[in-house]
Amino acid sequence: MMFASCDDMLTLESNRYVTSENHQLKNSTDSVSSILGLLSGMQKIADRYVLMGEMRADLLDVTPLTTADIRELSNFKVRRDNPFADPRDYYALINNCNYFISRTNGDDHPLKNEHALARTIRAWTYMQVASIWGQVYYTSQALLTVDDTHRELPLLQPLQLVDSLINDLSPFEKSYFPNYGTINNFPSSRIFPSLRLLLADLYLWRGSSPADYEKAATLYAEVIDEKYQAIQAGTMPSVRWSYDNFIQQNFETAIPSNSWSASTVASSTSTETVSAILMAANPSEGRVGKLPLKLNEFGFSTVIDSLWGAQRFTLRQTSGAVSINYYVAGDLRKQANLSGTFAIDEFELPALYKLLNCKNILTYRMGLVWLRYAEAVNRTGKPHTAFAVLKYGLKPAVFNDPAKIPIRERELAKSYLAPFNTLKYEWMTGVHARGCGDVAFDDDYDIAAFADGSMDTLQWVENAIIDELALETSFEGNRFADLLRISQRRNNPDYLARKIASKHRDNYQSIYQTLCSDTKNWFLPEPLN
């Protein structure tokens, strides 16, 4: 652990300071205004959550119209005076969380639920800093004076930070967040980052033992079971061809049915949305998300285009006792990710649906939670169970079929498995089915070739999960952190370097060498004084 002066990183303008005289934080009025202040701090960094998570990874690419500041993120050549290299909005939010936390300590404090929420926002923000700058100046004390900003603070690396945040959040695991009704027609429960999901992510990042992965899987399972509504077959978010499409062979001109696209953007009513950063509807009401206004700066990479094309859509048609599988190349989430094209000057550019409709910024949705759950379950030594999340969906019929989940993995008393062995989940489908149809019947999409439970099997399934994260959650802000987590888990910098360099077809070797030569190059530089 290193110590460094925090004055450069934490120099805050006078209007960013909180002072001990501002609030005593003893009543509901104080709590609402203070929590809304913290949420306003999240708004300031919301667009950057997506930009930093996607532009530095392998799926989102630049266009001829991308500005220099954003292009530098993609090329890993960020100038110190690039506005994206400035962490002060992040540390200002952390500082305000510290102040709120310091004023609401104690089990009997009337704002104990808000206290847990502030700790969650602080931890979430610290993790953003770690994934962007590769280290954090860590403090749990509010900086109230100019002299405070000159203190030396411990400089934590990501895994050191994870340990600190687990210790900080674990006592509040069962806490309930406050209910403020609706804000701008959005339930307040959906604008707070989930403490349990964040804690699950932290255990997934640490992964120092099977117990860490079991704890992560348990927390993910709790949230899934709490949020999941028993459904009927065919009602999960998906993009599908119909039987008529296969009869007419009109795949080039027809538009598939699509209930998936709308589920991938923050919504006050969608069962997919778990939490989001709520932005203002217009500038007169507050901070408006600017990503839709930058649409001409974003394109999809050849990496994700190749991955879309490498999948296969399956349609299972049954008549009486006879069932026939029909196949066509491609994952339909490609079409669902694109809202046509638009022209600017001589350039024809893709309109990426998620960014075009990115009025509020998703932090968690169910598709992501299922895949993080699968990642954790795989690392508990249950690769078939994890793969079943992708191919079949977890449900009693799958647990009871040894061809799908072998007996050695069927520890149904485990708290992270038990909820899914109930009739509530009898119509559950795999995440891969969202873009690839009746994939449960596709014999080519299978774990059978890696059936011995060895590390090779775990890694094969983990690779399949990472591909599925690309197919399901591309352009949502998670990709760089996902690649970073896997690379650190495998202690293999080459993994991240090759993944990201693959986006840069014309500059592959240079980007690869930059990323492989020194892991410090993965992150943004500290800004100029």
For the stretch 10-67, pLDDT in tens is: 554 434 444 445 556 665 666 788 999 999 999 999 999 999 999 999 999 999 999 9
Residue 501 belongs to domain with CATH number: 1.25.40.390
469 touches 477 (CB < 8 A): no
Q: What does the alpha-carbon distance between residue 221 and residue 227 come to, in Å, rounded to a whole number?
A: 10
In this structure, are 209 and 90 located in the same domain? yes
422 touches 435 (CB < 8 A): no
In this structure, are 82 and 105 located in the same domain? yes
Taking alpha carbons only, the member of 34, 55, 130, 53 closest to residue 91 is: 130
Provide the pLDDT for residue 314.
Answer: 98
Provide the pLDDT for residue 17.
Answer: 41
The tens digit of pLDDT for each residue in 149-188 reads 557 889 999 999 999 999 999 999 999 999 999 988 899 9
In this structure, are 217 and 316 located in the same domain? no
Please check whether residue 528 lies inside any domain of the structure. no
- Token readout for 216 is 């992560």
Angle at Cα 339 formed by Cα 365 and Cα 352, nearest 5°? 55
In this structure, are 380 and 254 located in the same domain? no
Total Cβ atoms within 10 A of residue 448:
8
Helix (H) or strand (E) holding 34: helix 28-54
Helix (H, G, I), strand (E, B) or coil at 105: coil
Helix (H, G, I), strand (E, B) or coil at 211: helix
Domain boundary among the residues 362, 379, 411 is at 362
Domain boundary among the residues 342, 362, 382 is at 362
Helix (H, G, I), strand (E, B) or coil at 174: coil
In this structure, are 344 and 404 located in the same domain? no
In this structure, are 6 and 136 located in the same domain? yes
- In degrees and rounded to multiples of 5, residue 9 shows phi and psi of -80, -30
Q: For the packed helices 195-206 and 210-227, what is the interaxial angle rounded to 10 degrees?
A: 150
Please check whether residue 498 lies inside any domain of the structure. yes
User: Looking at the DSSP assignment, which residues form a beta bridge with residue 361?
Assistant: 277
Q: What does the alpha-carbon distance between residue 327 and residue 343 come to, in Å, rounded to a whole number?
A: 34
CA 96 centroid distance within chain: 24
Alpha helices in 348-443 (DSSP H): 353-356, 366-379, 383-391, 396-399, 433-436
| 486 pLDDT above the threshold of 80 | yes
Domain boundary among the residues 362, 384, 408 is at 362
- Token readout for 380 is 């508990």
The total of structural domains in the chain comes to 2
Q: Which of 231-240, 328-337, 503-512 shows the lowest per-residue confidence on average (mean pLDDT)?
A: 231-240
User: Looking at the DSSP assignment, which residues form a beta bridge with residue 343?
Assistant: 348
Please check whether residue 478 lies inside any domain of the structure. yes
- Token readout for 358 is 């990115």
Q: What does the alpha-carbon distance between residue 371 and residue 394 come to, in Å, rounded to a whole number?
A: 12
Which is more confident, 136 or 7? 136
Please check whether residue 495 lies inside any domain of the structure. yes
Helix (H, G, I), strand (E, B) or coil at 160: helix
| 293 pLDDT above the threshold of 70 | yes
Taking alpha carbons only, the member of 179, 314, 304, 306 closest to residue 246 is: 314
| 424 pLDDT above the threshold of 70 | yes
C-alpha pair distances (Å), 249 with each of 4, 245, 311: 64, 6, 18
In this structure, are 218 and 267 located in the same domain? no
In this structure, are 11 and 70 located in the same domain? yes
**Sole residue written with tokens 């100029």:** 528
Please check whether residue 453 lies inside any domain of the structure. yes
In this structure, are 223 and 315 located in the same domain? no
In this structure, are 256 and 336 located in the same domain? yes
The tens digit of pLDDT for each residue in 297-350 reads 999 999 999 999 999 999 999 999 999 999 999 999 999 999 999 999 889 999
Please check whether residue 419 lies inside any domain of the structure. yes
Q: Which of 276-285, 311-320, 476-485 shows the lowest per-residue confidence on average (mean pLDDT)?
A: 276-285
Please check whether residue 529 lies inside any domain of the structure. no
Percent of all residues in the chain with a pLDDT value above 70, rounded to a whole number: 91
Please check whether residue 527 lies inside any domain of the structure. no
Q: Does the predicted model carry a pTM greater than 0.85?
A: yes
Give me the chain's average pLDDT, please: 91
Q: Which domain holds residue 272?
A: 239-362
Helix (H) or strand (E) holding 338: strand 338-344
Q: What does the alpha-carbon distance between residue 420 and residue 426 come to, in Å, rounded to a whole number?
A: 9
Provide the pLDDT for residue 275.
Answer: 97
In this structure, are 482 and 412 located in the same domain? yes
In this structure, are 319 and 226 located in the same domain? no
